Structure 1
Amino acid sequence: MSQIRKKKIADSVIFVALSAGAVFMIAPLLWMLSTSVKQKSDVFALPPVWIPNEFDFSKYAEIWTAGPLLSGIQNSLIISLSVTIVGSFTSSLAAFAFAKLRLKNKNALFLLLLSAMMIPYPSLMIPQFSMFAGAGWIDTLLPLIIPPIFGNIVMVFFLRQYLINVPNAVIEAAKIDGTSFFGIFTKIIFPLIKPAIAAQFILWFMAVWNDYLAPIIYLNSPDKLTIQLVIANFNATYAIQTDYPLIMAASIIALLPMLIVFLIFQKQIIESIAISGVKG
């Protein structure tokens, strides 16, 4: 068997395997979308009905009065955008400092920051709750916004490794021209790492948007709940009534911001992967 034929067979097997994996990954999303436009009686029909005979979009109108969905979306957007936008800026500054500035004991400090990742979050929940309760931040969005805006160590690590490949001669030349460190960052470093920041931005946005544990610790009032807590309340309230179309409609609405962010940044994410592959 020729090498070309072997390669075609291998490519066909890989394509079939990836296609099967894609089907398994997208099937739950399609089922959720299908369920959101079904009648309640069709949800448990056997055999399963993927495409209902009659599309019912009434649940998409009902969800806005069934619970504080709009305020949940607003709260999640406030948290996610403020954390990821400000946090990405501070994280990129920290990465620039650790990668390119001449700081005393910067490697030891960086290792200390990395070691903080080994501390499990449950061991910090009670001390953090006590600290934020003493500050009067309970049942506000501040505990979910203030700490992360100072940076994300995972993003700092990723950007630092990315910046190590940037030649020091570029920075030295800018310093000779009289450019300040902040000017070097804004005019040289930031444009270079924009693809990497975009890749980390979307991952961080998704993590903050989907966060359930931290909001349930600090938030109590219905008007302060994030979208994930609202969806959990929908599930607890309407699953008993087997109103799964309502729950799925609310879940689809909660999913839309993440899809929008991905569509906006997909070019930068692909570019980041391509650049990382070339440098690796």
Structure 2
Amino acid sequence: MQESVQEREQARGYRKGGPARRRLRGVARCIFPVVSYTVVCLWCLFFLLMIFWAVINSFKSYLNFYQDPLWFPKTGTGFGWNFSNYAKAFNALQVTRNSEIIRAPRMLLNSLIYAGGSGILSVITACLASYILAKYSYLKWVRSLWILVLITNYLPIGASLSANIKMLTDLGLYDSMLGIMFWQCGAFGYIFLIYYATWKSVSWSYAEAAFIDGAGHFRTMLLIMWPMTRTIFGVLFIQQFISLWNDYMTPIIYLPSYPNLSYGAYQFQFTAANPDVATVPIQIAGLLLLAIPIFVLFLIFRNKIMGSLTLGGLKG
């Protein structure tokens, strides 16, 4: 009987975590990071190679590209580094609207206004709406609004293109930069869901301490709670800015008088009448020009984007 009890104890110890199982978990802990980092490194290497390929081919001539599309430009007559490709691409970034030629500088301004304005409004509205639903859920009308948010997010509710155009025209928002900005700043989307989870992770004790000191609800949100989520705010704005920067369908349909750079790059595929501009190296140069502002934006805010959300503490 004593031996059987000892055997059962040994078996129970093995099930809970015997030497063999501990060794297996140790091997898994060693292998998993190696496999994960290897996959991430290969993924990053793939994108870096694609960017490298695009950059070196943007400086090639038409003949050099089709002779050797995988390596640096060749030297010799008709070959070499053609920096003029970027000048040709910049001059080709133009759109005709109502017999008016709109060139790259004006399209750049339209892109900055459209992406920046719509992006900041989208994040602000999502920030305010998610704060109310996350921190005032004890109110009955807030709980009802949360159900409505779930319905609008998970049910395919939408309107047709013609209905949207008619609605915007009737409201005087069609072909209006400011009107389209407000039309696109819907508070309930993926930005709302991310910010809602962020607010849930912030302790309400900070707000209670501010209320004791005499702060109101809006002041508490603006000066106490929001600074704790500035990193999330910045990251979401950058994501939204990039998404809107690459958006060419909205300007085509709803802002015909305000074409942006994405629409200008989209027009590259219709430049076959100009064989000098229709070559692949010049088209690649145009796309890289379109990516430069996004790259500069990342360099400026890289510390905010790569930083982590840091929360303070309460005394006492």
What is the aligned partner in structure 1 of residue 70 from structure 2?
49
Instruction: Report the Cα distance in structure 2 between the residues aligned to 1:69 and 1:152, rounded to whole angstroms.
Output: 34
Range with bigger deviation, 2-11 or 55-64: 2-11
Amino acid at match of 1:29: I
Counterpart residue identity of residue 79, structure 1: Y
Report deviation, 1:275.
Answer: 6.2
Q: Identify if the C-alpha distance between structure 1 residues 159 and 61 changes in structure 2 by more than 3 Å, giving closer, same or farther.
A: same
Q: Distance in 2 between matches of 1:6 and 1:146?
A: 51
Conservation of the 8 A alpha-carbon contact between 1:98 and 1:110: yes
How many Å apart are 1:130 and its aligned residue? 0.8
Structure 1 residue 88 corresponds to structure 2 residue 123: yes
TM superposition score normalised by structure 2: 0.75
CA positional deviation for 1:122: 6.7
Q: Map 1:179-198 to 2 at 5 A.
A: 179-198=215-234
**Residue 167 and residue 250 in structure 1: after superposition, are their counterparts in 2 closer, same or farther (change >3 A)?**
same
Instruction: List alignment gaps of at least 5 residues for structure 1.
Output: none
How far has the Cα of 1:118 moved from its partner?
3.8
Match of 2:16 in 1: none
Contact 1:144–1:215 under 8 Å retained in 2 = no
Aligned ranges 1:109-148 → 2 under 5 Å: 109-118=145-154, 120=156, 123-148=159-184
2:52 equivalent in structure 1: 30
Structure-1 residue corresponding to 2:262: 228
Describe the SS at the equivalent of 1:147. Answer: helix
Q: Contact 2:248–2:266 (CA<8 Å) still a contact in 1?
A: no
1:203 & 1:65 partners in 2: Cα distance? Answer: 29
Residue type of the partner of 1:161?
A
What SS does structure 2 have at the residue aligned with 1:105? helix
Note if contact 1:199-1:265 (Cα within 8 Å) is conserved in structure 2: no
| Structure-1-length-normalised TM-score | 0.84
Cα distance, 1:240–1:18 mapped onto 2, change above 3 Å:
farther
Pairs aligned (count): 271
Query: Which ranges in structure 2 are unaligned for 5 or more consecutive residues?
Result: 1-22, 75-79, 95-102, 312-316
The within-5 A match list for 1:99-114 is 99-101=134-136, 102-114=138-150
Percent identity, aligned pairs only, is 25
RMSD: 2.8
The whole-number CA distance in structure 2 between the counterparts of 1:24 and 1:263 is 21
> Quick check: 1:98–1:107 contact (8 Å CA) kept in 2?
yes
Task: Say whether the 8 Å CA contact 1:198–1:269 is kept in structure 2.
Answer: yes
Describe the superposition over 1:200-237 as per-residue Cα deviations: whole angstroms up to 9, x where unpaired.
1111111111123322212334xx21111110102221
Indicate how the Cα distance of structure 1 residues 123 and 27 shifts in structure 2: closer, same or farther if over 3 A, else same: farther
**Quick check: which has more Rg, 1 or 2?**
2
Deviation for aligned residue 1:197: 1.0
Matched AA of 1:52 = P
Q: Is 1:73–1:226's contact at 8 Å kept on the other side of the alignment?
A: yes
Structure-1 residue corresponding to 2:98: none
Contact in 2 for aligned 1:64/1:70 (Cα 8 Å): no
Assess, with a 3 A threshold, how the Cα gap between structure 1 residues 161 and 124 changes in structure 2: closer, same or farther: farther
Give the distance between the partners of 1:5 and 1:169, measured in 2 at CA. 42
Take 1:12 and 1:239, find their aligned partners in 2: how far apart are those partners? 52
Residue by residue over 1:238-274, the C-alpha shift from the partner in whole angstroms, topping out at 9 and shown as x without a partner, is 49734222211111111112222223333333334x7
- Which residue of the other structure, out of 158, 183, 189, is the alignment partner of 1:153? 189
Deviations 1:151-185 (A, max 9, x none): 35322221121111222222112112110112101
Q: How does 1:259-274 map to 2 (within 5 A)?
A: 259-272=295-308
- If asked which structure has higher relative contact order (CA below 8 Å, sep 6+), I would say 1
Query: Per residue, is there more helix in 1 or in 2?
Result: 1
| Aligned residue in 1 for 2:290 | 254
The amino acid of 2:152's aligned partner reads A
2:91 alignment partner AA: T
What is the letter of the counterpart of residue 206 of structure 2? Answer: V
Give the counterpart letter for 1:41 in structure 2: L
Q: Give the equivalent residue in structure 2 for 1:21.
A: 43
Distance 1:249 1:146, change over 3 A: same
Give the whole-Å Cα distance in 2 for the aligned partners of 1:116 and 1:182: 27
